[in-house]
Amino acid sequence: MVRLDDIIELAKANSKSIDVDLIRKAYVFSAKVHRNQLRLSGEPYLVHPLDVAYILAHLRGDAATIAAGLLHDTVEDTLTTLSEVETIFGEDVAHLVDGVTKLSKISFSSKQQGQLESLRKLVLAMAKDIRVVLIKLADRLHNMRTLGFLPGERQLAIAQETLDIYAPLANRLGIYWVKAELEDLALRYLDPEAYYELAMQVGKKRGEREEYIAKVCKVLKDELTKNGILCEVMGRPKHFYSIYNKMTARNVGFDQVYDAFAFRVIVPTIKDCYAAIGITHAMWKPIPGRFKDYIAFPKANGYQSLHTTVFGPEKDRIEIQVRTEQMHQVAEEGIAAHWQYKEGQPELAEEERRQFTWLRQTLENYQDLKDPADFLENLKLDLFPEEVYVFTPKGDIKELPKGACPIDFAFAVHTEVGMHCIGAKVDGRLVPLDYPLKNGDVVDIMTSTHAHPSRDWLTYVKTSKAKSKVKAFVNLQQLARQAGLGREILEKEMRKLGFALSLLSNSDVIEQVLSSFRIKELDTLFAQIAQGNVSVRAVIEKIAEIKKLEIAPSKEEGVQGRQSPVVKPSLRQGSPVRVDGIDNVLVRFGSCCGPVVGDTIVGFVTRGRGVTIHAHDCSRIAGADPSRLIQANWSLAGPLRTSVEVRVTSKDKQGLLAEISKTISLAKVNISKAQVYTTPQKVAVQHFTLDVESLDQLNRVLEAIRQVKGVIEVERLKRGYAQALNR
């Protein structure tokens, strides 16, 4: 029976600074709450958590992991509550115990749909905190070691689940010894006949085999040493389940499984690995197609080695694996080898970073793995077409529907992050907000307190949370903007007639006006004016009527209450731009910047003259009142001709201007103005004013000019800038 001291001794060997008190405290608590409980074996229940904790110490678990191992069944099997665990042992331990308890409730026994769902949860749990899965693996390993005490039916179910889920998971984590032991234990219950036959065969020929192994090791080591390679050579039979797999796959008997042995050569450097393979191949004939370079192309779980199969000294096939000491450690311990402790304190950041890199790689590599023998390696995330798994920069996983964009992610992190998202980086690179996220992406959201959701987002967000939040905001904002605009329109029209908007400040007047239009809120009335649904003239007339004021007929309008000339609800199709929140209002283009169809544009809500459209980087906009800026997008399908200034710098060469002009007209672009300057350095600077229909066309013509021989630089000028140069 494992004793607490065994666990502590092992834990201290891993890390001198490990929190022994935490482990002791967990032991005392576990012993207390599990007292009087027995396992089916008749042993005290405490044996189980002790063994689990011991396995975790072997896996180089930290203090919290080992403590959680001791406590892992307390919440499920005793009266202990999670909050009790948290109060006594802290958040970290409680989180681990909670994770294991939840994981235990997932049943992997049902195949198909339910199983995929469970796997999905498992992958998620694994991604959130790998330690939870380590504890679960340790728990399963001990339960498998003591499976004999369960009734036969349970044995089969648990053994099958172990083979389907836990052994592949251990493999995925690269913990070879746990994988091998789980597989052999599972085989013992699933196919006892084959298992005991194998055990007998291996046992019967043990002497013979050991002699053979020793011989191969010696020949190999001598040859490598002779060639100046420091090395260690080991050989051992593969574990039962892998021999069993080979026998069933090839439908052969034990005697015909030649590569039942694996030989390992451990050398100091990577260079030595390749040299050793070369020497081996010179000595023994390699079997073509069996050389595998997992050093250049590591397996998803981080495994690295060179593999080859050769015809050995007795002309039988032997598999040889060559690796460095460090690779060997990873091959044996997998993820546990990454648990790096520094003298003094565990280096958590480094640990997390490694764990995280591994995980990303794992998730990414689900797609590439082809080994049909491995369940989890077969598991493509494509099996879950509805989800992508992405990460915060801190490594937290977020599950989003496929096609989700950074905005969905931002809302998944926090509503406030979503509401103020201005940009996103994926794996450190800037991406557009409609970028479809991919599995394993690390998403970093940039926020600004001034930024707000835009209506456009609704066209690409996928999660209901993002959708509803954006919609609510857009609706509110739309109403506010329309109201503001409507109010200005009304004020301006009233002023023209010699009235002040303050006429509408009396609540009695407001109520009468509103009720006459059957509108409940003043802002709604203003919004209706902005949209052109309520005539501004009619509103003024109503106010005049209530206040018993006379309206002088204006020159350009009859008294018919026609729509104000200021607002021209444009009902014709293909209005060139769509302004966020204010449909059907007159838009005009800023004469300052002259945006081309396709340029990023922004609207400016003028006082009483609708909305002016500017290029987003127009200098006029830079100084404008931000509260008057409004999102605008191109919406027209047809062309809209705009003039653009372009500067072409070229060599001062005869005929070059003609060549450039020809290029421009070949692109079917009209030159409305051209000016040429020459510098003393024999450089010609040409300014063209081009009439273009879209940014696409502009970019094409600029590219065509760039291709003209002798052209040094081509750039589009902002109008203000061009004028400054022309002076």
Interatomic CA distance for residues 328 and 605, integer angstroms: 68
Chain centroid, CA 15 distance in Å: 33
Q: Are 59 and 93 in contact (CB under 8 A)?
A: no
73 or 488: CB nearest Mn ion: 73
37 or 516: CB nearest Mn ion: 37
- Quick one: DSSP state of residue 162? I
Residue nearest to Mn ion as judged by C-beta position: 139
Q: In angstroms, what CA-CA distances link 286 with 220, 329, 572?
A: 14, 26, 78
Nearest distance in Å: CB 142, Mn ion: 7
Q: Is 488 in the site for Mn ion (CB under 5 A)?
A: no
Nearest distance in Å: CB 139, Mn ion: 4
From 70-78, 113-121, 376-384, 414-422, give the range in contact with Mn ion by CB under 5 A.
70-78
Q: Is 387 assigned a catalytic role?
A: no
Catalytic residue among 9, 76, 352, 416: 76
Looking at residues 140 to 179 of the shown chain, list those that interact with Mn ion (rule: CB under 5 A): none
140 or 360: CB nearest Mn ion: 140
Q: Report the relative pairing of strands 577-579 and 587-589 from DSSP bridges.
A: unpaired
Q: 């665990």: which residue's tokens? A: 85
From 72-80, 323-331, 505-513, 536-544, give the range in contact with Mn ion by CB under 5 A.
72-80
Report CA dihedral (242, 244, 246, 247) to the nearest 10 degrees.
170
Interatomic CA distance for residues 493 and 486, integer angstroms: 11
How many residues bind to Mn ion according to rule CB under 5 A?
A: 2
77 or 652: CB nearest Mn ion: 77
Q: Is 139 in the site for Mn ion (CB under 5 A)?
A: yes
Residue 393 neighbours by CB distance under 10 Å: 12
From 73-81, 326-334, 384-392, 401-409, give the range in contact with Mn ion by CB under 5 A.
73-81
Looking at residues 181 to 220 of the shown chain, list those that interact with Mn ion (rule: CB under 5 A): none
From 76-84, 136-144, 283-291, 546-554, give the range in contact with Mn ion by CB under 5 A.
136-144
Nearest distance in Å: CB 48, Mn ion: 6
39 or 425: CB nearest Mn ion: 39
Token digits of residue 323: 């690796």
Q: Is 73 in the site for Mn ion (CB under 5 A)?
A: yes
Catalytic residue among 6, 19, 77, 541: 77
Interatomic CA distance for residues 354 and 138, integer angstroms: 21
Closest residue by Cα to residue 358 from 337, 375, 372 = 337
142 or 299: CB nearest Mn ion: 142
From 69-77, 206-214, 483-491, 653-661, give the range in contact with Mn ion by CB under 5 A.
69-77
Q: Is 76 assigned a catalytic role?
A: yes
Q: Are 377 and 172 in contact (CB under 8 A)?
A: yes
Interatomic CA distance for residues 222 and 232, integer angstroms: 11
Q: In angstroms, what CA-CA distances link 102 with 45, 107, 122?
A: 20, 11, 10
Nearest distance in Å: CB 22, Mn ion: 19
Closest residue by Cα to residue 260 from 228, 227, 235, 294 = 235
Nearest distance in Å: CB 79, Mn ion: 17
H or E element: which one contains 399?
A: strand 397-401
From 71-79, 203-211, 229-237, 689-697, give the range in contact with Mn ion by CB under 5 A.
71-79
Interatomic CA distance for residues 712 and 694, integer angstroms: 24
Token digits of residue 415: 């509503």
Q: 């990460």: which residue's tokens? A: 391
Give the CA count within 13 Å in the CB-facing half-sphere of 489. 33
139 or 319: CB nearest Mn ion: 139
81 or 475: CB nearest Mn ion: 81
What burial letters (b/e) apply to 288-312, b meaning 16+ CB within 10 Å? eeeeeebbeebbbbbbbbbbbbbeb
103 or 363: CB nearest Mn ion: 103
Nearest distance in Å: CB 53, Mn ion: 11
- DSSP collapsed to 3 states, 441-463: CEEEEEECCCCCCCCCHHHHCCC
Interatomic CA distance for residues 168 and 161, integer angstroms: 10
Q: Are 446 and 422 in contact (CB under 8 A)?
A: yes
Nearest distance in Å: CB 399, Mn ion: 27
From 65-73, 287-295, 683-691, 696-704, give the range in contact with Mn ion by CB under 5 A.
65-73
Nearest distance in Å: CB 9, Mn ion: 23
Closest residue by Cα to residue 124 from 462, 399, 406, 408 = 399
138 or 717: CB nearest Mn ion: 138
Nearest distance in Å: CB 132, Mn ion: 13
Number of H helices, E strands in the chain: 29, 19
At position 269, the amino acid (one-letter code) is T
Q: Are 427 and 376 in contact (CB under 8 A)?
A: no
68 or 646: CB nearest Mn ion: 68
Interatomic CA distance for residues 690 and 230, integer angstroms: 74
Nearest distance in Å: CB 30, Mn ion: 11
Nearest distance in Å: CB 462, Mn ion: 39
From 68-76, 436-444, 524-532, 713-721, give the range in contact with Mn ion by CB under 5 A.
68-76
3-state DSSP assignment of residue 553: coil
Beta-bridge partners for 716: 646
Nearest distance in Å: CB 92, Mn ion: 19
154 or 285: CB nearest Mn ion: 154
Q: Is 51 in the site for Mn ion (CB under 5 A)?
A: no
Interatomic CA distance for residues 633 and 635, integer angstroms: 6
Name the residues annotated as catalytic: 76-77
Task: List residues near Mn ion by CB under 5 A.
Answer: 73, 139
